[in-house]
Chain A
Amino acid sequence: MKLTLRVWRQKNADAPGAMSTYEVDGISQDMSFLEMLDTLNEELILAGDDPVAFDHDCREGICGACSLVINGDAHGPERTTTCQLHMRSFEDGDTIDIEPWRASAFPVVKDLVVDRSAFDRIIQAGGYISAPTGTAPEAHATPVPKPDADFAFEHAECIGCGACVAACPNGSAMLFTSAKINHLNVLPQGAPERETRVLDMVGQMDSEGFGGCTLTGECATACPKGIPLPSISAMNKEWLRATRKVRR
């Protein structure tokens, strides 16, 4: 495959950025999108140019490190992570636009790399449980009803990639935050911090400068893990409950 890539290049956080055009040839349909970018970078390095910086780690669709808005879609045209996107989703001769996640809470570090530490701070605000350490407790000591376990699992799938923020016209982190809150709040292990968790995480989300939710549904469409839009409603319900119940 021969492709024309238009890639966002930006030297550092303060430098102005722009789209640069590159041609790549000899791309196989079986390559992943990131391997295609590796090919481009090899050529750039050989030519003495600065390679395109992009985030990646596991390349298995489980870590949430990879990003990229491809032709206007977060993680590209398939419902998966960029690392699991393959070049068979494109045609020979295509022009592909590649941009970083866009949100003021995710400032660009370089080229396609953005700083997602705002997500870490949301987690630090309450995305954990307090449990005594030591030997693992007996697994059956804390029964969890099957529907609750399913609900928790569905939300535990969130890999914190930030595609929801990138896709949202308001740069809102509601889907991510709701996934984390719903995951823990439904479980008995999460019960002691049920109220403070949702209040603190939503508070942190607001102070990081993420936008609010206008229910456009773009986040759930972009999410590679299929976190559904009603998760946000479930979080709102938890939040409203917590404002009534919390004891500080």
Chain B
Amino acid sequence: MTRTLWDSSVGKKTIMAVSGLIMLLYLVVHMIGNLKIFFGSGEFNHYAHWLRTMGEPFLHYEWALWIVRVVLVAAVVLHAVSAYQLSRRDIRARPAKYVHKKPRAGYATRTMRWGGIILALFIVWHILDLTTGTVHSGGFQSGHPYQNVIDTFSTWYGNLIYIVAMLALGLHVQHGFWSAAQTLGAGRATRERVLRTIANVLALVLTVGFISVPVAVMTGVVS
């Protein structure tokens, strides 16, 4: 069955849909966690610390976090590899373009591939910036996420990269969630409106939620 999934275009889309939904679920949790920054450094840092002690005493320190990380890395890799292979197939299936060109499909639909690449690059930067601190501006202090977040969003490029990526995320989720539902066989004429609405709401809430943090730092609401 694994072979059937991986070898079929429909199966590979299923893998994309499931891995995408896993990442989407993570993003909702991540976004809600981020909003804690509005309650001050104490609460935000405490929450960040709890992420490491989560599951104790059953789990050792940071185990839960590492489990989440492993699942996410698996999801990202499966999603990206499937996307790459499916895209190659799609491009090969339609080598000749029409002479008479027409604007096609919505913006979100047309930008799935580039948007995905932007998001992949963003994830690399985001981890190097706020998890490892490798490319962090102004002295990364592990264990002080509140200060680190403010440092990042005190630079123009930090804000720019983040906001562009979150807009790309919104577009990706808008088409991605709805597509995942279709791929997993949940699409039905009578459900069309509901699925579209959930996709739009998810996209909007995630984008606004994530962008609210840099905007708050820029405007001094969080400092």
Among B1, B93, B100, B178, the residue within 8 A (CB) of A72 is B100
Interface residues as binary, A143-175 with B (CB distance below 8 Å gives 1, 0 otherwise): 000000000000000000000000011111000
Query: Chain B at the A interface: mostly helix, strand, loop or mixed?
Result: helix
| Stretch binding the partner chain, chosen from B31-39, B59-67, B158-166, B185-193 | B185-193
In the complex, what residue of chain A is closest to B10 when comparing beta carbons?
Answer: A239
User: B10, B90, B97, B185 — which one has the most chain A CB atoms within 10 A of its CB?
Assistant: B10
Q: A217-B105, A243-B1 are in contact. Are A230 and B98 (CB under 8 A)?
A: no
Check A202 for interface membership: any CB of B closer than 8 A. yes
Contact between chains at A233 and B183 (CB < 8 Å): yes
Report the minimal beta-carbon distance from B143 to chain A, rounded to whole angstroms.
43
Chain A residues near B8: list those with CB within 8 A: 202-203, 206, 239
Task: Kindly state the separation between the CA atoms of A232 and B192 in the bound complex, as whole angstroms.
Answer: 13
Q: A171-B93, A210-B93 are in contact. Are A232 and B187 (CB under 8 A)?
A: yes
Chain A residues near B184: list those with CB within 8 A: 236-237, 240
Task: Kindly state the separation between the CA atoms of A238 and B100 in the bound complex, as whole angstroms.
Answer: 37
Check A105 for interface membership: any CB of B closer than 8 A. yes
Segment 1-32 of B: residues with Cβ below 8 Å from A:
1, 4-5, 7-14
Contact between chains at A230 and B189 (CB < 8 Å): yes
Chain A residues near B1: list those with CB within 8 A: 243-244
Report the minimal beta-carbon distance from B194 to chain A, rounded to whole angstroms.
12
Chain B residues near A237: list those with CB within 8 A: 184-186
Chain A residues near B112: list those with CB within 8 A: 214
Check B172 for interface membership: any CB of A closer than 8 A. no
Q: A169-B104, A215-B182 are in contact. Are A97 and B99 (CB under 8 A)?
A: yes
Contact between chains at B185 and A212 (CB < 8 Å): no
Task: Kindly state the separation between the CA atoms of A180 and B213 in the bound complex, as whole angstroms.
Answer: 50
In the complex, what residue of chain B is closest to A213 when comparing beta carbons?
Answer: B13
Check B89 for interface membership: any CB of A closer than 8 A. yes
Task: Kindly state the separation between the CA atoms of A168 and B102 in the bound complex, as whole angstroms.
Answer: 12
Contact between chains at A102 and B96 (CB < 8 Å): yes
Check A51 for interface membership: any CB of B closer than 8 A. no
Q: A212-B86, A216-B105 are in contact. Are A243 and B11 (CB under 8 A)?
A: yes
Contact between chains at B182 and A230 (CB < 8 Å): yes
Task: Kindly state the separation between the CA atoms of A230 and B179 in the bound complex, as whole angstroms.
Answer: 11
Chain B residues near A202: list those with CB within 8 A: 8-10
Q: A104-B92, A211-B94 are in contact. Are A229 and B99 (CB under 8 A)?
A: no
Chain B residues near A104: list those with CB within 8 A: 92-95
Contact between chains at B93 and A99 (CB < 8 Å): no
In the complex, what residue of chain B is closest to A241 when comparing beta carbons?
Answer: B185
Interface residues as binary, A195-235 with B (CB distance below 8 Å gives 1, 0 otherwise): 00001001101100111111111100000000011101111
Contact between chains at A102 and B97 (CB < 8 Å): yes
- 25 A/B residue pairs, CB under 8 Å, sorted by A: A8-B99, A97-B100, A102-B94, A102-B96, A104-B92, A169-B90, A172-B90, A172-B93, A199-B4, A209-B92, A209-B93, A211-B93, A211-B94, A213-B183, A215-B175, A215-B183, A216-B105, A230-B189, A233-B183, A233-B187, A236-B182, A239-B8, A240-B14, A243-B4, A243-B5
The 6 closest A-B pairs by CB, nearest first: A237-B185, A233-B187, A211-B93, A171-B93, A170-B90, A171-B94
